[in-house]
């Protein structure tokens, strides 16, 4: 009768509850993790050691590396709740991202990837921590260092590598490249080459979310170099005026290509730059801190408007593959950060100290991840380059009279040249 | 001795006093052999002659010398970005008001190494590392120019200057006019643009088509180390705002350029290859595609005249017109998009001025009106390739 459809509705709601909710059934969680990151069909990712000491539903409380610092806001607590399963998934996901970026490095050196390639290794904890706190209905937009965020949003390895190599199976059909990864269905809005231009876009996403009363938020990620762009402050002002659920996340890796933050910014406290907009400074290399801050920011933004999160992080590679990364910083600094603050190492230590996994378990996960990446690269390499007609598709939306003319005799010179004619309605 | 006196007389008749090379004492450029040859306005020569040919006029002459004056002359070899740097350095030495501002131009040495070594030499106040704020630092450069400095503003990629479009259009281009001539804006705005190797849509833009209608701006495009250095120096010396378009893929071109100082004319085109059958007008990277096509065309029996227009605003209609009057057929090869590019303006200019001399409609080969795709094959099809140039010439010359 009347109650039956309501019951149905309830059950559907349960199955799409976000992964971070620890009351979710563990097998759903397992397959969710696997499905999210694996490009191959679902296969059995059983953990090699059963949970004898801690059940997969028990929570662990971990303290973040440093307390949060707030600007015009009370920072959240330093204690983060997590489950062993979540920690393992963090480890696996971050290792996958790390491996993907390193593979992209070698693909670039063998000239399969060309142009610009900006790698995210060292910063994976931001992508993972963010995902752990939000749903796919929330929006994320970032700049050109977008490969790992794309993965976090549900992109597959094959799509990533195919796009990097310019093949038709890529997420943008090979037409975008490294700096233009998008995934509309899971709320990933790119992927932008011009520094800072994505922040007004992100505030626009938040505006639409508020307009359509969706109850979701937008995260606009940018770097410390972009923090000096005027359009950022313009967008922030408007977002604050209109109380938009926009969260501006500054991924502060301390270098804007070759310029250190102290040389480009008079005030390197990016979380305070919002002035009237509250801010939070987070250790970006601690995935649990990122998760806590993102959750806190989402709750805040839905009620009160914009907030700035500054993630203190580091990139091991140079700005892009054409930048060695060592002319403006010392190798000691890079290896120092790698030893002290590496996000994957931190989770590894946590897992080992809480006896959730052994050293060999983790090594096995890394081997698996490596294999997955290699398979994805092989699959992507076999994929073809886009068809020549793709040059003219998606310039406009079909239906407004734009067609491709194949008249080789009149104006095209050779088979690779076609003229686009527009028929006015 | 008599010979040198004779050549001195010869020189004094030939040298245009306004084109006097320079009056300061001779000094050598770093890393070059021989000293600067100084020819004074009254024809006196100082510096060692060392028995080689005197270069009386290093400015590219109109259609007389078939190729640029660099071949088979002693000089030094360098890459295009080094030529730009040499030009910049010479101008910074000569005039203390010249400064450079841009992203990563100082300590990093420039993302394409054009400003490498300048920061340690001139210091932080003359070679300025700016934050990533194109709109602001372009505006600041223009403001500094209004009061007497001569900034060289670098856009790391021309596409980033779109963020500064308002400053370039409204302030840079218009202030001299709207102030009734009180302020002059001697800035040089330079940077690499054009379609590179799979750099993606946003980093492969051709800004010359966007800037060309801004009144008050002059635009030049360099294509060889020789004209890169000459145009850089001319642009810095010019009291008008000049936009110098470099190309990402041309930075590593090597050429031998004269040791002596030279400045090129900003409004002059370069005759690359004289011919009889068809005039091919091109600039920047397309020059090389055209020259590649020219080899094929010569084998097929055609004799194309290739002109590198260099000056994108205003056009050198003198050189172009002479060529059209000779060949009666024009092909324009450009990297801009089909819609609203330099080619379409050039076409209009030629039709307006030389209609009676044309035997065939002007053909214009441009890039497709699409955002530049990342995939290598698609990107190749976006841009004009030599095979298309050959086919176009064949069609024109039927």
> pLDDT at residue B29 above 90?
no
What would the mean pLDDT of B171-183 be, rounded to a whole number? Answer: 94
Give me the residue from A229, A386, A414 closest to B375, CB to CB: A386
Distances (CA, A) of A58 to A22, A82, A400: 8, 8, 57
Give me the residue from A193, A265, A395 closest to B370, CB to CB: A395
DSSP symbols for A80-126? EEE-HHHHHHHHHHHHHHHHHHHHHHHHHHTTSS-S-----TT-HHH
Please name the residue that has the structure tokens 């000089």: B75
Q: What is the mean pLDDT of chain B?
A: 86
Residue B203 falls in the annotated catalytic set: yes
> pLDDT at residue B24 above 50?
no
**Cβ neighbours, 10 Å, residue A152:** 25
Contact B287, B272 (CB under 8 A): yes
Contact B202 A179 (CB under 8 A): yes
Q: Given this model, what pLDDT does residue B16 score?
A: 46
Give me the residue from B108, B130, B202 closest to A194, CB to CB: B202
Tens of pLDDT along B301-329? 999 999 999 999 999 999 999 999 999 99
Give me the residue from B162, B200, B371 closest to A179, CB to CB: B200
The token duo for B217 is 């701006």
What would the mean pLDDT of B30-40 be, rounded to a whole number? Answer: 48
Give me the residue from A166, A328, A413 closest to B108, CB to CB: A328
Question: Which residues of chain A are within 8 Å of residue B376 when distances are taken between CB atoms?
Answer: 114, 166, 385
Q: What residues does B243 pair with on adjacent strands?
A: B189, B219
Contact B252, B81 (CB under 8 A): yes
**Cβ neighbours, 10 Å, residue B110:** 24
B265-287 burial: b if 16+ Cβ within 10 Å, else e? bbbbbbbbbbbebbbbbbbbbbb
Local structure of A71: helix, strand or coil: strand
Give me the residue from A114, A256, A390 closest to B197, CB to CB: A114
Contact A101, A93 (CB under 8 A): no
Helix segments in A248-406, DSSP class H: 261-264, 287-304, 331-341, 343-353, 359-382
Interstrand relation of B76-79 and B254-257 (parallel, antiparallel or unpaired): antiparallel
A405 at interface of B, judged by CB pairs closer than 8 A: no
Q: Given this model, what pLDDT does residue B259 score?
A: 93
Q: Given this model, what pLDDT does residue A261 score?
A: 93
The token duo for B389 is 């140039």
Contact A386 B373 (CB under 8 A): yes
Residues in chain A: 425
Local structure of B207: helix, strand or coil: coil
Query: How far apart are the C-alpha atoms of A94 and A188, rounded to whole Å?
Result: 18
- ipTM > 0.90 for the complex: no
Q: How far is A229 from chain B (nearest CA, A)?
A: 5
Please name the residue that has the structure tokens 């900003």: B266
Q: Given this model, what pLDDT does residue A79 score?
A: 95
A41 at interface of B, judged by CB pairs closer than 8 A: no
Using only C-alpha atoms, chain B has a radius of gyration, in whole angstroms, of: 21
Question: Which residue does chain B place closest to A261, by CA atoms?
Answer: B131
Question: Which residue does chain A place closest to B393, by CA atoms?
Answer: A413
Contact A175 B133 (CB under 8 A): no
> pLDDT at residue B48 above 90?
no
Tens of pLDDT along B329-379? 999 999 998 888 999 999 999 999 999 999 999 999 999 888 999 999 999
Contact B23, B40 (CB under 8 A): yes
Question: Which residue does chain A place closest to B376, by CA atoms?
Answer: A166
Query: How far apart are the C-alpha atoms of B231 and B263, rounded to whole Å?
Result: 7
Contact B107 A259 (CB under 8 A): yes
φ/ψ region of A68 (left if φ > 0, alpha if ψ in -120 to 50, else beta) reads beta
Q: What are phi and psi of B243, to 5 degrees?
A: -105, 120
Q: Given this model, what pLDDT does residue A26 score?
A: 42
Strand order through the sheet with B98-102: B127-129, B98-102, B150-154, B188-193, B242-247, B218-221, B311-313
Contact A265 B198 (CB under 8 A): no
A328 at interface of B, judged by CB pairs closer than 8 A: yes
> pLDDT at residue B79 above 50?
yes
Residues 268-327, chain A, touching B (beta carbon < 8 A) = 327
Query: How far apart are the C-alpha atoms of A262 and A196, rounded to whole Å?
Result: 19
Residue B71 pLDDT class (50, 70, 90 cuts): low
Residue B261 falls in the annotated catalytic set: no
The token duo for B159 is 């596409």
Burial degree of B263 (CB within 10 A; 0-12, 13-18, 19+): buried
Contact A221, A191 (CB under 8 A): no
The token duo for B250 is 């041309």
Question: Which residue does chain A place closest to B368, by CA atoms?
Answer: A419
Interface test with chain A among B107, B198, B293, B378, by most A beta carbons within 10 Å:
B378
Burial degree of A238 (CB within 10 A; 0-12, 13-18, 19+): middle
Q: How far is B107 from chain A (nearest CA, A)?
A: 8
Which helix (H) or strand (E) is B275 found in, with range? none
A178 at interface of B, judged by CB pairs closer than 8 A: yes
Helix axes A287-304, A343-353, angle to 10 degrees: 110
Q: Given this model, what pLDDT does residue B58 score?
A: 53
Contact B129 A178 (CB under 8 A): no
Tens of pLDDT along B256-290? 999 999 999 999 999 999 999 999 999 999 999 99
Contact A264 B135 (CB under 8 A): no
Task: Going residue by residue through chain A, which has 425 residues, state the pLDDT in tens, using 9 for 90 and above.
Answer: 444 444 444 333 333 334 444 443 444 444 444 344 444 333 333 333 444 444 556 899 999 999 999 999 999 999 999 999 999 999 999 999 999 999 999 999 999 999 999 999 999 999 999 999 999 999 999 999 999 999 999 999 999 999 999 999 999 999 999 999 999 999 999 899 999 999 999 999 999 999 999 999 999 999 999 999 999 999 999 999 999 999 999 999 999 999 999 999 999 999 999 999 999 999 999 999 999 999 999 999 999 999 999 999 999 999 999 999 899 999 999 999 999 999 999 999 999 999 999 999 999 999 999 999 999 999 999 999 999 888 877 876 665 555 554 433 222 222 334 454 433 33
Contacts with A288 (C-beta within 8 Å, 6 or more apart), sequence order:
A62, A64, A80, A82, A129
Largest CA distance in chain B: 65
DSSP B161: G
Contact A391 B382 (CB under 8 A): yes
Q: Given this model, what pLDDT does residue A73 score?
A: 96
Burial degree of B289 (CB within 10 A; 0-12, 13-18, 19+): buried
Q: What residues does A247 pair with on adjacent strands?
A: A219, A307
The single residue of B82, B86, B176, B203 carrying the catalytic annotation is: B203
pTM of the model as a whole: 0.81
A226 at interface of B, judged by CB pairs closer than 8 A: yes
Question: Which residue does chain B place closest to A319, by CA atoms?
Answer: B111
Please name the residue that has the structure tokens 């078939």: B66
Question: Which residues of chain A are within 8 Å of residue B109 when distances are taken between CB atoms?
Answer: 327
Question: Which residues of chain B are within 8 Å of residue A395 when distances are taken between CB atoms?
Answer: 369-371
Contact B133 A230 (CB under 8 A): yes
Distances (CA, A) of B55 to A369, B38, B72, B258: 67, 11, 12, 9
Query: How far apart are the C-alpha atoms of B255 and B75, rounded to whole Å?
Result: 10
Contact B370 A392 (CB under 8 A): yes
Contact B108 A257 (CB under 8 A): yes
Distances (CA, A) of A139 to A218, A302, A304, A306: 5, 13, 18, 14
Residues in chain B: 398
Contact A230 B387 (CB under 8 A): no
Using only C-alpha atoms, chain A has a radius of gyration, in whole angstroms, of: 23
The single residue of B86, B90, B103, B134 carrying the catalytic annotation is: B134
Largest CA distance in chain A: 77
Query: How far apart are the C-alpha atoms of B304 and B291, rounded to whole Å?
Result: 10
Contact A143, A223 (CB under 8 A): yes
Tens of pLDDT along B213-247? 999 999 999 999 999 999 999 999 999 999 999 99
Tens of pLDDT along B281-306? 999 999 999 999 999 999 999 999 99
Contacts with B42 (C-beta within 8 Å, 6 or more apart), sequence order:
B12
Q: Given this model, what pLDDT does residue A391 score?
A: 83
Question: Which residues of chain B are within 8 Å of residue A193 when distances are taken between CB atoms?
Answer: 200-203
């Amino acid at each position: 009768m009347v109650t039956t459809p309501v019951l149905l509705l309830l059950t559907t709601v349960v199955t799409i509850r976000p992964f971070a909710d620890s009351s979710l059934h563990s097998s759903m969680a397992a397959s969710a993790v696997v499905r999210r990151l694996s490009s191959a069909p679902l296969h059995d990712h059983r953990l090699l050691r059963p949970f004898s000491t801690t059940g997969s539903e028990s929570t662990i409380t971990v303290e973040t590396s440093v307390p949060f610092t707030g600007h015009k806001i009370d920072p959240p607590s330093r204690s983060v709740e997590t489950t062993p399963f979540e920690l393992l998934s963090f480890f696996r996901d971050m290792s996958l991202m790390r491996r993907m970026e390193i593979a992209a490095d070698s693909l670039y050196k063998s000239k399969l990837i060309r142009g610009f390639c900006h790698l995210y290794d060292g910063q994976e904890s931001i992508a993972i921590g963010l995902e752990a706190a939000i749903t796919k209905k929330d929006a994320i937009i970032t700049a050109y260092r977008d490969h790992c965020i794309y993965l976090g949003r549900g992109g597959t390895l094959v799509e990533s590598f195919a796009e990097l190599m310019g093949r038709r199976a890529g997420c943008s059909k090979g037409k975008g490249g490294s700096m233009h990864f998008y995934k509309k269905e899971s709320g990933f809005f790119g992927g932008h080459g011009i520094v800072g231009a994505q922040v007004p876009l992100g505030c626009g996403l938040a505006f639409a979310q508020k307009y359509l009363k969706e109850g979701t938020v937008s995260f606009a990620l940018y770097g410390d170099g972009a923090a000096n762009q005027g359009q950022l402050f313009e967008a922030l002002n408007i977002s604050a005026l209109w109380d938009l659920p926009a969260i501006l996340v500054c991924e502060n890796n301390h270098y804007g290509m070759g310029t250190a933050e102290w040389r480009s910014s008079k005030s390197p406290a990016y979380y305070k730059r919002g002035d009237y907009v509250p801010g939070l400074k987070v250790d970006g290399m601690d995935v649990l801190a990122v998760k806590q801050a993102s959750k806190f920011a989402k709750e805040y933004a839905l009620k009160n408007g914009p907030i700035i999160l500054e993630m203190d992080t580091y990139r091991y590679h140079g700005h892009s593959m054409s930048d060695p990364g060592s002319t403006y910083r010392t190798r000691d600094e890079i290896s120092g950060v790698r030893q002290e603050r590496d996000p994957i190492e931190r989770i590894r230590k946590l897992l080992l100290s809480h006896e959730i996994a052994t050293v060999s378990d983790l090594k096995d996960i890394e081997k698996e991840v490596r294999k997955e990446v290699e398979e994805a690269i092989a699959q992507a390499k076999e994929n073809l380059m886009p068809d020549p007609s793709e040059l003219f598709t998606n310039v406009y939306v079909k239906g407004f009279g734009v067609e491709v003319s194949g008249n080789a005799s009149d104006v095209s010179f050779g088979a690779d040249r076609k003229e686009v004619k527009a028929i006015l309605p | 001795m008599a010979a040198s006196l004779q050549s001195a007389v010869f020189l004094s008749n030939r040298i245009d006093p306004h084109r006097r090379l320079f009056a300061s004492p001779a000094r050598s450029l770093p890393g070059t052999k021989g000293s600067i040859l100084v020819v004074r306005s009254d024809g006196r020569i100082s510096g060692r002659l060392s028995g080689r040919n005197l270069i009386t006029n290093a400015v590219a002459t109109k259609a007389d010398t078939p190729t640029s004056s660099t071949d088979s002359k002693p000089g030094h070899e360098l890459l295009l970005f080094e030529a730009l740097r040499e030009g910049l350095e010479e101008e910074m030495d000569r005039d203390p008001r010249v400064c450079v501002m841009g992203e990563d131009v100082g300590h990093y040495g420039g993302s394409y190494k054009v400003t490498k070594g300048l920061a340690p030499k001139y210091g932080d106040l003359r070679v300025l590392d700016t934050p990533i704020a194109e709109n602001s630092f372009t505006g600041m450069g223009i403001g500094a120019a209004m009061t007497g400095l001569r900034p060289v503003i670098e856009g790391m990629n021309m596409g980033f200057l779109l963020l500064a479009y308002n400053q370039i259009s409204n302030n840079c281009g218009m202030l001299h006019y709207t102030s009734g001539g009180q302020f002059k804006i001697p800035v040089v705005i330079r940077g690499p643009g054009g379609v590179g190797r799979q750099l993606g849509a946003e980093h492969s833009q051709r800004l010359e088509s966007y800037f060309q209608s801004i009144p008050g701006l002059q635009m030049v495009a360099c294509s060889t180390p020789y004209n890169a250095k000459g145009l850089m120096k001319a642009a810095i010396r010019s009291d008008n705002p000049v936009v110098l378009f470099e190309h990402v893929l041309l930075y590593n071109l090597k050429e031998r350029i004269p040791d002596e100082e030279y400045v090129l004319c900003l409004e002059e085109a370069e005759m690359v290859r004289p011919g009889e059958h068809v005039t091919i007008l091109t600039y920047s990277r397309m020059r090389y595609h055209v020259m590649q096509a020219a080899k094929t065309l010569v084998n097929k029996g055609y004799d194309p005249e290739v002109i590198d227009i260099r000056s994108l605003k205003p056009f050198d209609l003198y050189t172009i017109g002479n060529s059209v009057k000779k060949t009666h057929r024009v092909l324009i090869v450009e990297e801009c998009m089909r819609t609203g590019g330099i080619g379409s303006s050039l076409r209009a200019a030629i039709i307006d001025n030389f209609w009676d001399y044309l035997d065939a409609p002007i053909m214009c080969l441009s890039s497709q009106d699409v955002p530049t795709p990342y995939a290598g094959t698609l990107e190749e099809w976006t841009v004009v390739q030599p095979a298309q140039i050959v086919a176009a010439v064949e069609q024109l010359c039927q």
